[in-house]
Amino acid sequence: MCGIVAYIGQKDAKPILLEGLKLLEYRGYDSAGVAVLTDAGVEVARAVGRVAVLEDKLEQQAKSGKAFAGTLGMAHTRWATHGGVTEINAHPHQDDQAGIAIVHNGIIENYAALRKLLEEKGHTFQTETDTEVLAMLIGELYAPSEGVDLEKAVQAALREVTGAYAIVVMCAQEPDVLVCARKGSPLIVGVGNGEYVVASDASAIVRHTTQAIPLDDYNVCRITREGFRTSDLQDEQVSPKVMQIEMDLEEIELGGFTHYMQKEIFEQPASMRNTLRGRIDHNEGKVVLGGVAGFAKELVKAKRVILTAQGTALHSAMIGEYLLEDLAKVPTECEYASEFRYRNPIIEDGTVVVAISQSGETADTLAALGEAKDRGALALGVVNAVGSTIARETDAGVYLRVGPEIGVASTKAFLGQVTVLTLISLFMGRRRFMSQVECEQLLTELERVPTKIESILAQADEIRKVTEKYVTKENWLFLGRGYNYPVAMEGALKLKEISYIHAEGMPAAEMKHGPIALITDGMPAVFIANRGAQYEKVISNIEEVRSRGGHVIAIATEGDDRIGNVAEDVIYVPDIPEPLSPLLTVVPLQLMAYYAAVARGHDVDKPRNLAKSVTVE
Ligand code: G6P
């Protein structure tokens, strides 16, 4: 949600900032801006729309002699929270007296009270944003003649603030200093040779350096070309934790694909092989999970598991609930993190709470995790982004290892989450009730999934043609049962997110309790009708839709020659034991959503109003 990149070093800052913004654009893209410290002071340019619009604007300005030449600067790509999407509300924001410029991710909750106070002191505001309030507050406190330099002014301002922030601040009066800080919103300081790249996301740093310091909450970092100092808000020095960014450049490049979402769908066989690598012990018919090995006893004895997440990750949690009860025989529930955190949940002895998150930064999931920890639960993370806040805040966890996911609509991370939840279920199940033979059979099948996904991807063109037949329809249903009910939810979410078609996902049986009233002539209904315990029941539900004029698209098991008699279109997936079936059935639904969005001419990787990582409640 919003992207920050800042640079201090020997090189020209502008191209580095623009390149960084493009890599971060997936985090927010309604407006963008840049500030560079030049000989003339702080120069700022902002534009509504994509980074490309800002780039054009900078080119025009360069032609009229404003080159933004300087070796210290900051930039921001915005996803509006406070204030409309206008140029004036775009970041960087400035104060009205000290020459302060700031970029900010997050929300300052007490901004209205602070603004009133600052207005009483005579400050005049240009924008409706909480960020400008922070710029003014830092400017108000800045008093170099009294020993309050930029670092101290930032510390003092942040002591007054409630809310979440990742900020980078610069000041015309201290032309060789960048100050950054975080609370609740990620910020990483990339440490190069005589240069530093600060960003909200490692992808904007990795081209420059792989050494980085992920800031902790309430850390303030003062950076000059000679070095940096990390402190807390009381100015006590903090020892920085240096980490290595493990990310290949190819992982953040399109590599011949048109869209990141397309690339990430097609990457799934490889990403799933990565998720599984080294985690299966065939000799013992066991799962090996280094990240939770220290808590194996607690997991084996767990009395209850609560899975919590938001968005697509919640759908993987819903599948996790089926997997854990079915394979590990542990009572499990699954809950939106946003609800869990506020509803005074009961956590008894032996409760394990698992937070599932691609980014590891989702505000509600993070807060749910905190609530669970405070109440004494063992807190585990199923996270993709290495070193992210959730990964660091949990007692233990299992990384997805699917590489950076850039398309806003999550695909390979979902597959990674379901794979990890399957591994955790087998890890616990085998140590609780499952025989070696039983576990080994499922593990062997699990290892075959990537190849089976390849065979589904090979049908992409067929899937595109089926999708294009229905792409003008504005209302779709997605229906499934058992393990594939959450897949139906995920299929509907994917379609909504990027093609803006209204879609509902639900258990197939639930349709009769209301949604059936919506079925009209030609309405597409996607049924996940693979072979499984409830196959016959799904066929009955298909008949109910057909008899009301709906058009059925069935996701069915290869070799099912009956389904063609009841469905207009059939997409086949290979046969697989039912607990593993979501790993296959979701893939055609991802492709359908992708092709629908392309056919409708949408910007697949940057759907309207969405953000990749939601770091506000
Ligand atoms: C946003 C994204 C979704 C994602 C959800 C949870 O809404 O657009 O794709 O599923 O956040 O994100 P997380 O990073 O916690 O998995």
CATH number (domain holding residue 271): 3.40.50.10490
Rounded Cα gap, residues 410 and 414, in angstroms: 6
Task: Please identify which of the residues 57, 496, 606, 612 carries the catalytic annotation.
Answer: 612
| The token pair that represents 210 in the structure block | 């792989």
For residue 617, being part of any structural domain is answered with no
Identify whether 611 is part of a domain: no
Q: Is residue 444 one of the residues assigned to a domain?
A: yes
Tell me: do 227 and 287 sit in the same domain: no
Question: What confidence score (pLDDT) does residue 225 get?
Answer: 96
List of residues 6+ apart from 440 with CB closer than 8 A: 282, 285
Mutate to test the pocket of ligand 1, among 389, 390, 410 (most ligand atoms within 8 A of CB): 410
Question: Do 339 and 468 have their domain in common?
Answer: no
Probe residue for ligand 1, chosen from 310, 314, 382, 408 as the CB with the greatest number of ligand atoms within 8 Å: 310
First to last CA, the chain: 12
pLDDT at 520: 85
Residue 612 falls inside a structural domain: no
CA of 178 to the centre of ligand 1 (A): 31
Say if residue 299 is in the same domain as residue 319: yes
Q: Decide if 221 is catalytic.
A: no
206-227 burial, b if ≥16 CB within 10 A, otherwise e? bebbbebbbbbebbbbbbebee
612 is known as an active-site residue = yes
Residue 615 lies in a domain: no
* Helix, strand, coil percentages for the chain (3-state, nearest 5): 40, 25, 35
**CA–CA distance from 194 to each of 191, 226, 550 (Å)?**
8, 6, 64
At 336, give phi and psi (nearest 5°).
Answer: -55, 130
CATH number of the domain that residue 37 is part of: 3.60.20.10
pLDDT tens-digit map of 152-174: 999 999 999 998 899 999 999 99
* 515 CA to centre of ligand 1 in angstroms: 27
- E-assigned strand segments in 327-444: 332-336, 351-357, 378-383, 396-399
Domain check: are 482 and 440 in the same one? no
**Hey, whose CA ends up nearest to atom 15 of ligand 1?**
357
For ligand 1, the distance from its centroid to the CA atom of residue 336, given in whole angstroms, is 12
Residue 562 and residue 432 share a domain = no
- Shared domain check, 391 and 257: yes
Can you give the residue range of the structural domain that contains 144?
3-245
Task: Please report the atom of ligand 1 found closest to the CA of residue 385.
Answer: 14
pTM equals: 0.84
Q: Please count the structural domains in the chain.
A: 3
Distance (Å) from CA 449 to ligand 1 centroid: 24
Q: Which of 2, 171, 221, 439 is catalytic?
A: 2
CA 367 to ligand 1 centroid distance, Å: 15
Q: Tell whether 309 is covered by a domain.
A: yes
- Same domain? For 237 and 100 the reply is yes
Q: Whose alpha carbon is nearest atom 5 of ligand 1?
A: 311
Alpha-carbon distance 556 to 181, whole Å? 52
452: left (phi over 0), alpha (psi -120 to 50) or beta: alpha
**Contact in structure between 80 and 132 (CB atoms under 8 Å):** no
Q: Are 317 and 357 in contact (CB under 8 A)?
A: no
Question: Does residue 373 sit in the same domain as residue 470?
Answer: no
Residue 613 in domain? no
| Cα-to-centroid distance, 360 and ligand 1 (Å) | 9
Inter-axis angle of helices 436-457 and 582-599, to 10 degrees? 20
Last residue of a domain, one of 420, 452, 484: 452
Residues with CB under 6 A from ligand 1: 310-313, 357-359, 362, 365, 408, 410, 610, 612-614
Instruction: Please tell me whether residues 505 and 391 are part of one structural domain.
Output: no
pLDDT of residue 67: 86
Q: 165 and 263 in one domain?
A: no
**183-239 tens-digit pLDDT:** 988 899 999 999 999 999 888 999 999 999 999 999 999 999 999 999 999 999 999
135 and 227 share one domain: yes
pLDDT of residue 287: 97
Q: Which of 405, 614, 617 to mutate for ligand 1's pocket (most ligand atoms within 8 Å of CB)?
A: 614
Which of 452, 486, 518 is the endpoint of a domain? 452
- As a whole number of angstroms, the distance between CA 10 and CA 12 comes to 7
Instruction: Output the residue whose Cα is nearest ligand 1's atom 4.
Output: 311
Is 213 in the same domain as 297? no
In a domain, 548, yes or no: yes
DSSP 233: T
**How high is the mean pLDDT of the chain?**
94
CA atoms of 528 and 509, how far apart (whole Å) = 13
pLDDT for position 1: 65
Helix extents (H) in 471-534: 485-499
Q: What is the pLDDT of residue 64?
A: 86
Domain boundary among 412, 433, 452: 452
pLDDT under 70: residue ranges of the chain: 1, 82
Q: Which atom of ligand 1 is nearest to the CA of 390?
A: 15
